[in-house]
């Protein structure tokens, strides 16, 4: 069993790459967002789902992310586009919640189901943020992070996940 630590280190390196700091920071940030959203409850998550789809559609058909980066001199690192996506999604959430939030059924739901739905929403937003990042920033992430969050297949799965999980997690 002398090769135990070397085997673990080689496996970890093969999954997360030589420099896993960005991946671990991203993972911790996403877990925090997921838990915060899950504690909010299913009704608020439903409003976030609607707001996320509206925000992603809005940002996809306009060039607002790159325009805001240029106008406001927002740096082209991961936090610039992520902040813009979160602010626009938050604005859309406020519009959705206060315009017709009373129409969304407020119900108690199991925490595990809220976590599952929150994972799908946060994953969709994270995948969209990754579409806004320059190539040199994406090179700093591990192959597993790139597989999960980047590419047409990944984006398609993340866009469909909230819709599918809303029905599957309904009480």
pLDDT of residue 108: 65
Look up the pTM and report it: 0.77
pLDDT of residue 156: 92
pLDDT of residue 97: 83
pLDDT of residue 123: 92
Q: Cβ distance 157 to 120 under 8 Å?
A: no
Q: Over the chain (171 residues), what is each successive 10-residue block's mean pLDDT?
A: 58 60 78 87 86 90 85 80 88 87 68 88 91 82 86 91 86 61
**What 3-state class would DSSP assign to 116?**
helix
pLDDT of residue 21: 66
Residues 6+ apart with CB under 8 A from 149: 123, 126, 127, 130, 158
Centre a 10 Å sphere on the Cβ of residue 25 and count the other Cβ atoms it contains: 11
pLDDT of residue 17: 58
The string of DSSP letters for 24-92 reads HHHHHHHHHHHHHHHHH-HHHHHHHHHHHHHHHHHHHHS-HHHHHHHHTT--SSTHHHHHHHHHHHHHH
Q: Which pair of structure tokens corresponds to residue 12?
A: 């970890």
Q: What is the CA radius of gyration of the chain?
A: 18
Secondary structure, 3-state, 112-127: HHHHHHHHHHHHHHHH
pLDDT of residue 1: 46
pLDDT of residue 10: 64
What distance in Å separates the CA atoms of residue 125 and residue 60, rounded to the nearest whole number?
A: 12
pLDDT in tens, 146-155: 888 888 899 9
Domain boundaries, the chain: 46-168
């Amino acid at each position: 069993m002398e090769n135990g630590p070397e085997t673990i280190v080689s496996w970890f390196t093969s999954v997360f790459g030589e420099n896993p700091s960005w991946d671990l920071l991203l993972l911790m940030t996403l877990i925090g967002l997921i838990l915060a959203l899950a504690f909010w409850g299913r009704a608020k998550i439903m409003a976030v789902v609607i707001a996320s789809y509206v925000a992603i559609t809005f940002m996809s058909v306009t060039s607002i992310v790159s325009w805001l980066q240029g106008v406001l001199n927002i740096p082209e690192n991961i936090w610039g586009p992520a902040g813009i996506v979160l602010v626009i999604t938050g604005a859309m959430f406020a519009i959705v919640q206060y315009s017709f939030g009373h129409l969304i059924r407020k119900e108690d739901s199991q925490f595990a189901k809220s976590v599952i739905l929150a994972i799908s929403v946060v994953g969709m937003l994270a995948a969209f943020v990754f579409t806004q990042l320059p190539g040199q920033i994406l090179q700093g992430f591990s192959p597993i992070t790139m597989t999960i969050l980047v590419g047409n297949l990944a984006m398609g799965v993340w866009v469909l996940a909230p819709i599918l999980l809303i029905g599957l997690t309904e009480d």
